[in-house]
A and B are shown apart, each in its own frame.
Chain A
Amino acid sequence: MSTEALEAQILTGGQAVAEAMRQIDPDVVPAYPITPQTPMIQGYAAFVAQGRAHGELVDVESEHSAMSAAIGSALAGARTITATSSQGLALMAEVVYIAAAMRAPVVMAVGNRALSGPINIHCDHSDSMLIRDSGVVQLFAESAQEAYDLMVLAPRLAEHPDVLLPVLVCQDGFTITHSAEPVVLLDDDAVRGFVGEYRVPNALLDVANPTTQGPFAMPDYYFELRHQQLAAIQNALGVFDTLAREFEGVSGRRYRSLEPYRLDGAEHAIVCLGSSGGTVKDAVDTLRERGDPVGLLEVRSFRPFPEQQLREALLGLRRVSVLDRADSPGGAPPLFAEVAAARDGVDVELRSYVYGLGGRDLHPEDAEAIFHDEIVGRYLGLRGEACRA
């Protein structure tokens, strides 16, 4: 097929995920509605109703049940996708850890939304960060196009024999989920060819080879079984890169776990996740025209964190400003903590900013102000002087 022949459509990130789900055509989709995830499952449900998608859409009574059903179906041998946001992800959290431990390759589309309270429906990354340590892969999209592409890539990553873990495809709530922009969809056959057949080791419904799964582990084995998960998620970095190359062959678009933007000759770079990458790129372009040596390091894969690549990228920089869209009260914000750990021994000045909680916008001027070191304190746009640690 010719990728040039495909025309862009105007889609929201939520619709783009629904289209990806139609094309992947998973066997089972257990889901519970929550803003701003709603258009993903609403869109997919319409495709099922029209006979254009063939998955078993399971209307469960909560996200806890959605995730539990997802584990059962994925381990039974059915390709499984679910989607959620905010409180829904929080309610799933207990079971997400179990999904990772049982190595259930569930794809989870997430429309990132602030956790309560106060209750809020808009974007920040506190929901994803809640399950930071659960052992799942977390990919962050910058745009609807990226959310679509990463969705298509996600089943292969989740199901790869060296990985076998849940994969989250995170997109900023409303900023991406509900904003219409040009998206180039792949041909249905190309997606089906790319994702291929789903195979799981030790399928629960393989009655000729019965197994007990998710058993109790005492102190003599718990540590070693946890380490298997650690090895699997570390493998995901290399597998992502391999799959991203293959995906480039299909789509013409290349993804990296850490994406540098105009880093050549840069002295000051911003590190961030999600849609803010697009905003920062605008600011970088503006400042580069004026001759300012600035650039961006966009973290596509937050888990596993591309520590080595980041460390190498830091070597040429004088200053790095890390933008977190989640806070960790009483401690370091999560992305900053990763960068600080990767920086160990590298002579680069590190700044930490927390921005956009509860959906407050980040404007290109904000990024320019960060590059010009005009922000006082850590909390971007906070009214009133921040209390000191």
Chain B
Amino acid sequence: MPELSDWRGLPHAGVVHPGDTAQPRTGGWRTGVKPAVDLALCVNCLLCWLYCPDSAIRLDGTVLTGFDLDHCKGCEICAEVCPVDAIEMVDDVD
């Protein structure tokens, strides 16, 4: 848990600036499943990247490399939109 800012340390009116949303690790809201990709099947169409509501698809340039599990909430949209079934949801156990 990061140390919380006092009221003077918060941005004016709580305005959110670019990059600020990296800080709350919303991946903790995920329940049950997380995405896993078979890179041998992936064709790098990047539909998952386009559809992901949390910017949780990790890329190297235009090549999919994996998932940002600090922000993925396990919504399964990436698995649903993948045209080659390279993404499947697996048990989310550490």
CB<8 Å pairs between A and B, sample of 14 = A103-B12, A164-B12, A164-B13, A202-B15, A212-B15, A213-B16, A214-B14, A217-B14, A221-B4, A223-B7, A224-B10, A225-B13, A228-B12, A231-B7
Q: Is the CB of A224 within 8 A of B15?
A: no
- Interface residue A220 (Cβ < 8 Å from any Cβ of B): yes
Q: Is the CB of B6 within 8 A of A224?
A: yes
- Interface residue A215 (Cβ < 8 Å from any Cβ of B): yes
Given contacts A211-B17, A220-B4, contact A201 B10 (CB under 8 A): no
- Which B residues are CB-close (under 8 A) to A214? 13-14
* Chain A 190-227 interface 0/1 with B at a Cβ cutoff of 8 Å (1 = within): 00000000000110000001111111010011011101
Q: Is the CB of A103 within 8 A of B13?
A: yes
- Residues of B that sit less than 8 Å from A by CB: 4-7, 10, 12-18
Q: Determine the residue in chain A with the shortest Cβ distance to B9.
A: A224
**Prevailing SS type, chain B contact patch:** loop
- Which B residues are CB-close (under 8 A) to A210? 18
Nearest CB in chain B: distance from A58 CB, A:
23
- Interface residue A101 (Cβ < 8 Å from any Cβ of B): yes
Given contacts A220-B4, A221-B4, contact A228 B15 (CB under 8 A): no
- Which A residues are CB-close (under 8 A) to B5? 224
Q: Pick the residue among A101, A213, A225 that contacts B10 (CB under 8 A).
A: A225
Q: Pick the residue among A213, A215, A224 that contacts B7 (CB under 8 A).
A: A224
- Which A residues are CB-close (under 8 A) to B18? 210
In the complex, A321 Cα to B14 Cα: how many Å?
42
Q: Determine the residue in chain B with the shortest Cβ distance to A231.
A: B7
Q: Determine the residue in chain A with the shortest Cβ distance to B13.
A: A103
- Interface residue A239 (Cβ < 8 Å from any Cβ of B): no
In the complex, A196 Cα to B18 Cα: how many Å?
31
- Interface residue A102 (Cβ < 8 Å from any Cβ of B): yes
In the complex, A221 Cα to B9 Cα: how many Å?
11
In the complex, A231 Cα to B8 Cα: how many Å?
10
Q: Determine the residue in chain B with the shortest Cβ distance to A226.
A: B7
Q: Is the CB of A228 within 8 A of B16?
A: no
Q: Is the CB of A213 within 8 A of B15?
A: yes
In the complex, A199 Cα to B16 Cα: how many Å?
19
In the complex, A381 Cα to B75 Cα: how many Å?
66
Q: A211-B15, A221-B10, A228-B10 are in contact. List 9 more A-B contacts (CB 8 A).
A: A101-B13, A164-B12, A201-B12, A209-B17, A213-B16, A215-B16, A224-B5, A225-B14, A228-B13
